Structure 1
Amino acid sequence: MEQYAKINFLGAAGVVTGSKYLIETSEKNILVDCGMFQGLKELRELNWCDLPIDVPSIDVVLLTHGHLDHVGYLPRLIKQGFTGKIIGTAPTLAIAEIILKDSAKIHEEEANKANKEKYSKHHPALPFYTIKDAENTIKLFTVEIEDKWTTLSEHITYRFQYNGHIIGATFIEIDINGKRFVFSGDIGRQNDFLLNDPKTPEWADFLFIESTYGNKLHPTDNIEAVLTEIIKETIHKNGNLIIPSFAVERLQTLMYILWKLYKKNKIPNIPIFIDSPMGNNVLEVFNRFPKWHKLSKEDYNAMCNHVNIIQSYKETWETIDDKRSKIVIAGSGMVTGGRVLTYLQQLIDEPSTTVLLVGYQAEGTRGRQLLEGAHEIRFFGKYYPVNATIKSIESLSAHADQKDLINWMSKIKNIPEKIFLVHGEPTASDAFRVKIKDVYGWNATIPKLTDVEKVMI
């Protein structure tokens, strides 16, 4: 009798955010990643909708890594009836716990602020999920080690493989009836400052591969030289350098580079303030899992001692009032929320301010607006004029570019039956589709949100 698996594309299909892929089989129903949508309003509104599937029938969730667009929908999944295990590597679950708790706190604070200041059209404005919801989610976390095949049922096994990108990140291989499903998650880069090179798959019957930078090569500019120049300009203007940063990986990488620049006498001892409660917690994850990154204990301690880690909102305001030229690294990386908004509220209208964007800026985010030259941005219910200098360093991205993605596929010994290009905007995915055809002669498809694909297993 022919057996089929049904694949539901519930997120990161035709878009970069909201990763969720459900594989339905006669033995188990497996959800790979459970992220929330970020960016465009019509995508964010999807977060509030129940998933178009039978959620209680999902047996297990496997997580590639801990970023919000891969784990942020988990509390809503549980509210819709999921009761199974949520499985990931130990650092991934540590990061996911930090991100979910931080995200829940922000949701609660923003709902309270909107209700108090009456700038939401929802009465009352509700948090997307609460700290209690996040805690209920974390109770279902189950750690699995990397590089070990684990049995899920009679004909289904899976394993996690090191993938760079952020601490704990993996790609996932799932064998179902002898057919291998490979989910790339987010693929890291070669020669990363903090992480080892990604491993690569050797077999894939069905490949689900990210295409975030499927149409681009990262610039080969010297990051240290570019950063040195920006810092010198900031000091010359007696201004502030504000770096909106992702709390996971990017913030630690920036700390490391700035410390190295100071050690090499490339920059003076300019005060550096780290204002990201979540980023501070992630630093502790680096401390707990030394085998997952390159930093020695000595370098880790020296890097942490070189910066001022802000512990309270009171210290945020003291930093803003500090008249010295300084560097502030604060969440969030796409300027969608977090502490960076408080700094921008006070400083984005000053010509002496420089805002440096250091990661992918999704469509519809404030970061993308700044990148594209917006003369004003809106947050906290008001518009703020942008008189600051806006700069970006794309080469600090934690995502593989087109060349890296093509190389990541190079060890696959067979011709995959199906290749699905996910986690990319349409132009990026389509350019990557053409490149795969040119290099390997393989056909790839670009699924859309809510598409369902039936494959024989």
Structure 2
Amino acid sequence: MMMVSVRFLGAARTVTGSKFHVSAGDMDLMVDCGMFQGLKSLREENWKPLPVAVPKLKHILLTHGHLDHIGYLPRMLRQGFKGSILGTAPSLAIAEIILRDSAEIHEEEAEKANKEGYSKHHPALPFFTQEEAEAVVKLFRTVPLDEWQELGKEISIKWSYNGHIIGATHITIRIGGKHFVFSGDLGRMDDLLLRDPEKPRWADYLLLESTYGDRMHPEEDIENLLISLINRTIEERGTLLIPSFAVERLQLLMLILWKLYDKNRIPGIPIFVDSPMGVDVLQVFREFPSWYKIPEADFRAMFRHMTLVSSYRDTWRTIDDPRPKIVVAGSGMITGGRILTYLTKTLDKSNTTVLLVGYQAEGTRGRKLLEGAKSLRIFGKDYRVEADVVHLESLSAHADQPELLDWLSDIRNIPERVFLIHGEEPAMEVLKTKIEDRYGWSVSIPSQDETVTLI
């Protein structure tokens, strides 16, 4: 039996930066390659080279296309990576969109910071460039669902449906008969857009996400809450701003808002979708209809009912539009994107409502708003918060504690080790106790840069 070790290079006692180095004999792999978001101390880690022999890596396996799982890929090329990047077809399509969009944002923000002089770095540099993003895409290789792929002697890999976002999977690495399961990010049960996550049947070693390991998503009446916020927005002639992740959340919001209108539960208030990346993602949905549950007729109706904003000039036209309106714009944790421009013009108005619709990582602007911040720093300036801030947790794309526990229920063996990843420490501690109490399994919480020898 060859020696196998896993090094936790990200998402260890934190939610972002998923990166796991797997060494199996003479084969070196990585599962996910994400960038850190949120706290400054974490973001600074993004600029450091990985403490592994990157040129030796033969493959990077992607669970899905979110930035905190793929955003470090361009930096790998600088460090000598020349292998292949493997994922499902929709995951790679999403990753391509996100990398290109992020590169453009990085370059624009660096240029703006240098022009206006608000960066401490001289000059401010983009985290990666559009040229580097294009080079990464050339290394993409598509894999099918639920079929073992042989990567080397006694090493095979399988990708299995996960919900969460289109293309998302959990990954099983089979090495000499042992199954190493990497959960990726698990989706919700009974999601409006996506099917339920598939459950693993065997796991000798399991790395399990724990984002909501300490809580249940509340039983919220989403439709009535939205109706109330929309009616108030109309009465006050204000703006309902919804920062949204471009993948899954934006499409889900479009579906809910359109259905409310279609059922005559809200009036025809203008709805602007200002996320070029989100619009590109809609095309991915059109290309891969077997991955989700929306009928084609509903898809077409959503498009007809909403205004898709593409150019930055149209962003300003939308801001200047005096009508009460709904604006759905990226990004979901207010870390960048078009939502920042809207906030600079509306955050100090009492007839603005900011609706947060997903997890807000520690250190992000979204988390600060959630915690009652009186001002928000955007583009080097502080903006007073007079807007009403509302949080809608049940639209999260992450499984909650009962769903995480249920996902383990079909595993027929007793795993030798379970490692909790992709969560903040309080959530991990609670989930650890729950798994130990229910299943009697051995559960560990690894630290950043910890290496564990498993065989």
- TM-score bracket relative to the smaller structure: over 0.9
| Superposition TM-score, scaled by structure 1 size | 0.99
Aligned ranges 1:217-296 → 2 under 5 Å: 217-296=216-295
SS of structure 2 residue aligned to 1:188? coil
Q: Where do 5+ consecutive residues of structure 2 fail to align? A: none
Counterparts of 2:224 and 2:163, CA distance in 1: 24
Q: How far off its partner does 1:277 sit?
A: 0.5
Aligned ranges 1:404-443 → 2 under 5 Å: 404-443=403-442
How far does the alpha carbon of each residue in 1:296-331 deviate from its partner, in whole angstroms, 9 at most, with x for none? 111111111110000211111111111100000000
Partner residue in 2 for 1:446? 445
How far does the alpha carbon of each residue in 1:269-293 deviate from its partner, in whole angstroms, 9 at most, with x for none? 1100000010000000000100011
How far does the alpha carbon of each residue in 1:30-51 deviate from its partner, in whole angstroms, 9 at most, with x for none? 1000000000000000000000
* 1:29–1:59 contact (8 Å) kept in structure 2: yes
- 1:173 and 2:178 are equivalent in the alignment: no
* 1:272–1:327 contact (8 Å) kept in structure 2: yes
Partner residue in 2 for 1:361? 360
Partner residue in 2 for 1:182? 181
Counterparts of 2:304 and 2:86, CA distance in 1: 34
* 1:436–1:444 contact (8 Å) kept in structure 2: yes
* 1:7–1:454 contact (8 Å) kept in structure 2: yes
SS of structure 2 residue aligned to 1:413? coil
Q: Which runs of 4+ in 1 moved over 2 A?
A: none
Counterparts of 2:435 and 2:226, CA distance in 1: 34
Partner residue in 2 for 1:307? 306
Q: How far off its partner does 1:27 sit?
A: 3.6
Counterparts of 1:4 and 1:25, CA distance in 2: 6
* 1:9–1:452 contact (8 Å) kept in structure 2: yes
Aligned ranges 1:28-427 → 2 under 5 Å: 28-427=27-426
Counterparts of 1:417 and 1:304, CA distance in 2: 49
Counterparts of 2:131 and 2:164, CA distance in 1: 29
* 1:27–1:153 contact (8 Å) kept in structure 2: no
Counterparts of 2:56 and 2:7, CA distance in 1: 14
SS of structure 2 residue aligned to 1:33? strand
* 1:30–1:60 contact (8 Å) kept in structure 2: yes
Q: How far off its partner does 1:363 sit?
A: 0.1
SS of structure 1 residue aligned to 2:331? coil
Q: How far off its partner does 1:397 sit?
A: 0.1
Counterparts of 1:272 and 1:379, CA distance in 2: 24
Q: How far off its partner does 1:29 sit?
A: 0.9
Q: How far off its partner does 1:121 sit?
A: 1.0
Kindly tell me the number of residue pairs found equivalent between the two proteins: 455
SS of structure 2 residue aligned to 1:47? helix
Counterparts of 1:3 and 1:173, CA distance in 2: 17
Counterparts of 1:448 and 1:110, CA distance in 2: 32
Q: How far off its partner does 1:426 sit?
A: 0.3
Counterparts of 1:79 and 1:175, CA distance in 2: 30
Say what the alpha-carbon RMSD is for the aligned residues: 0.6
What letter matches 2:59 in structure 1?
V
* 1:276–1:331 contact (8 Å) kept in structure 2: yes
What letter matches 1:259 in structure 2?
W
| Superposition TM-score, scaled by structure 2 size | 0.99
Partner residue in 1 for 2:11? 12
What letter matches 1:363 in structure 2?
E
What letter matches 1:226 in structure 2?
L
What letter matches 2:429 in structure 1?
D
* 1:36–1:68 contact (8 Å) kept in structure 2: yes
Q: How far off its partner does 1:442 sit?
A: 1.1
Counterparts of 2:235 and 2:66, CA distance in 1: 36
Q: Where do 5+ consecutive residues of structure 1 fail to align? A: none
Percent of aligned positions that are identical: 59
